[in-house]
Amino acid sequence: AQSVTQLDSQVPVFEEAPVELRCNYSSSVSVYLFWYVQYPNQGLQLLLKYLSGSTLVKGINGFEAEFNKSQTSFHLRKPSVHISDTAEYFCAVSDRDSSASKIIFGSGTRLSIRP
């Protein structure tokens, strides 16, 4: 079984400042890792994914994340945030061998950008 822990429920940041949203996972099997973003009253949009290969993955809107297997982490970063990045961010994990492709989501981190 897998689990995902997002350590911060809310992260306030000033505009143009860097941000890191933390995510740790637990799994006894190999996994794929994802970050999704949810803007108010909308569905979830895939931000980036780690499937294999380079541990540093780049996504949309200037975000990137680094897979660290030894620390079982997949932290999300952006060097300079914008007001439009205000949203909730979900880290997620999926068992590589799951035939139903089920995903386990973290509880989310609400990113608020201050001008």
Partner 1 sequence: SQTIHQWPATLVQPVGSPLSLECTVEGTSNPNLYWYRQAAGRGLQLLFYSVGIGQISSEVPQNLSASRPQDRQFILSSKKLLLSDSGFYLCAWSIRGTSGRGGTKNIQYFGAGTRLSVL
Binding-site ranges for partner 1 (CB under 8 A)? 32, 34, 36, 41-46, 49, 51-52, 90, 94, 96, 98-103, 105-108
Q: Which residues contact 84 (CB under 8 A, 6 or more apart)?
A: 61
Q: Among residues 49 and 77, whose Cβ is nearest to partner 1?
A: 49
Cβ 95 to partner 1 shortest distance, Å: 8
**Neighbour count for residue 86 (Cβ, 10 Å):** 16
First-to-last alpha carbon distance for the chain, in angstroms, is: 41
Q: Among residues 12 and 79, whose Cβ is nearest to partner 1?
A: 12
What is residue 83's three-state secondary structure?
helix
Cβ 89 to partner 1 shortest distance, Å: 11
Q: Among residues 51 and 56, whose Cβ is nearest to partner 1?
A: 51
Tally: H helices and E strands in the chain: 0, 12
**Neighbour count for residue 7 (Cβ, 10 Å):** 15
Cβ 102 to partner 1 shortest distance, Å: 6
Q: Among residues 15 and 64, whose Cβ is nearest to partner 1?
A: 64
